[in-house]
Amino acid sequence: MLHKCDSRFWSKPCPIGSGLSFACSEPRRRLVRGTSTNGHECDECIEVSIGSIINELSRPMLNGNKYSVQLKSILELDPKWQVHYNATFSYTYCSPSSIRIPNNIRAVQKIVQEALKSHLKVKAFGSHHSTTDIICPPTGSIAIDSAHLNWIKINKKAKTVKVGAGTLEKNVIDALEAQGLSFPQTTTYGGITMGGATGTGAHGSSFKHASTFSEMLVGMTIVTGTGEILTLKGKDLDDFRVHLGFLGVVVEVEFTVVPLYKVLVTAYPTDDAILYTPAFLQMAEATDSLVVTWIPRIKKLAIVNRTYVPVGTPGNGAAFGGGGAVFSVEQRVQESQIFDYFEVTRNQTAMCAVEEGYFYSIFSNVTSQGFPPAFIDNMGNFANPVVGFPRNVLTTTCQAPKCAFLAPTPILTKELAFAIPARNLQLLLAIFDEIYKKYPSCFPLSGVLFRFAPPSRGLVAAEQGEPTIHFELLIHLVESNHDIASIQLEFFQALSKALYANKKLKARPHWGKNGHEVRTISYLQFSNVFRRKECWKYYTSPIEFSSNSSLTHAPPGIPIREPSRRLRAYAPQTCTRRRS
């Protein structure tokens, strides 16, 4: 067990401008094994520079919180953690018995067959982008790193692309553009794998076009829990479009694509009164892609209208994704210091000032206040409107350690991400407004974000077969003082519980973003799924997958993964035979 040599080191936030790191009243200290002055073995405290901290944060194995150095020592000393990986932006570490890196479908098949013989579970993972423990198998299981399943095969005539499940979205987009093709929509961040994107229903924002890769699927090749190789097309794909890793390792996915286009982006503010009228949804329906940020405190919306234009339209600009994708690790360390200071001093006014600055950064140039530009032209200057290719405007990417979005981050956050039927927007707003009046809050990290999606054919897709609104917000949690709660936590928890409890709202969680407690709402919504698949109660699988799987091809008689066990509890008792 690790001990603190001096509790003062973690008891107070550092003053702004002091040059000291977050959560300490002395220069940043590192805990290493040593002997204390009283003769007892403990952790000796020595100074470490901010540069050293940044180096630690940049290592993929580290969590990025203030205990990362301690955690590294634990991982090195405990044999259980000799093999491990962790989720981006998450305090979740995974400890399989081994990590395999296959480069073709036969290699994947052999791994699954080996696991079957040894009664082990398997989890396939990609870029670690999910913020939940969906990427982790049980301790001692086999993990499959999909990084080498990364081929790209474009059929220009058929307008389709086949890719390995571990291929990064940004690489596929670049390859398509070189052939004069594109996806009709992309996710905001392009550093995710195509297998993971389909598995969790990762989405962009559009009523007009397919907004998820899950809906663009036209084919998929998987290895089932018995080691069988299956290629799926047609109606079978509906079980796979959002798969949550239930029944197989996805090896290859095939998508439909469209001719290349450019995007004209225009961002502007407006009063939030439109949010309470039919005109809001009509605006989204009339636009190729729309992203809306709401700041309830000032009753304003920031509208980002993204209209598709011919490829010959002048302009080669880019979007920075609202800043999150371009912060350096150094900036994130500073951000954590600032937010912790606001929290500890209960400075809601300062928190709201940052929120307002974030709002204005979406459509205007406030770089002088420390906010990166949301959009730039081909000269690197702020621009609004701006024209650019989808790979630069619809999605953003960057490279660690210069990009804190990829590197483990020291800022501790909690995210609430739900999808609701568009027809229930006014009910959502009524619930939100009632809670906001009781717990007025500011959301400086994201505002309240609205994105849009057409109906989905996916069995467990968030879009539920009808036009859908994705509703998201992000709050900062205090790291430096464990006896102090976040200023926004009251509002966050009250809203979370209200969304769970109101069955009329028909809310579904974003599978890759929400924390453990959000699974509650998914259980409440699964009755319809089991009515459609009444033999789900017989579902069993040897594998722990964060890739695709089919309900139809479930192998019998082998232990299932934990999330599936929870879901199976809601299966009806009317099925008399197993599905073949």
Q: Is the peptide bond before 556 cis (omega within 30 degrees of 0)?
A: no
Q: What pLDDT, on a 0 to 100 scale, did the predictor assign at position 484?
A: 79
| Amino acid residing at 389 | F
Please give the domain boundaries of the chain with CATH numbers for all domains. 7-82 (no CATH), 264-388+401-503 (3.40.462.10)
> What is the block-wise mean pLDDT of the chain (580 residues), using blocks of 10 residues?
30 35 32 34 32 37 36 42 50 73 92 90 76 66 88 96 94 96 91 87 92 93 90 86 80 96 96 98 96 96 96 90 45 68 84 89 83 84 93 75 49 80 97 96 91 89 88 80 80 89 86 49 38 33 32 34 36 30
The end-to-end CA distance of the chain, in Å, is 51
- Residue 135: what pLDDT? 64
pLDDT for the residue numbered 439: 95
Nearest to 110 by CA among 562, 580, 118, 220: 118
Tokens of 196: 């993971």
Burial of 17 (0-12, 13-18, 19+ CB in 10 A): exposed
Neighbour-count burial for 489-509, b at 16+ CB within 10 Å, e otherwise: bebbbbbbebbbebeebbbbb
Q: Which H or E run contains 508?
A: strand 508-509
CA dist 494 → 175, 177, 293, 501 (Å):
45, 45, 21, 11
The pTM assigned to this predicted structure is 0.75
Distance from C-alpha of 69 to C-alpha of 32, rounded to nearest angstrom: 9
Q: What does the pLDDT read at residue 80?
A: 43
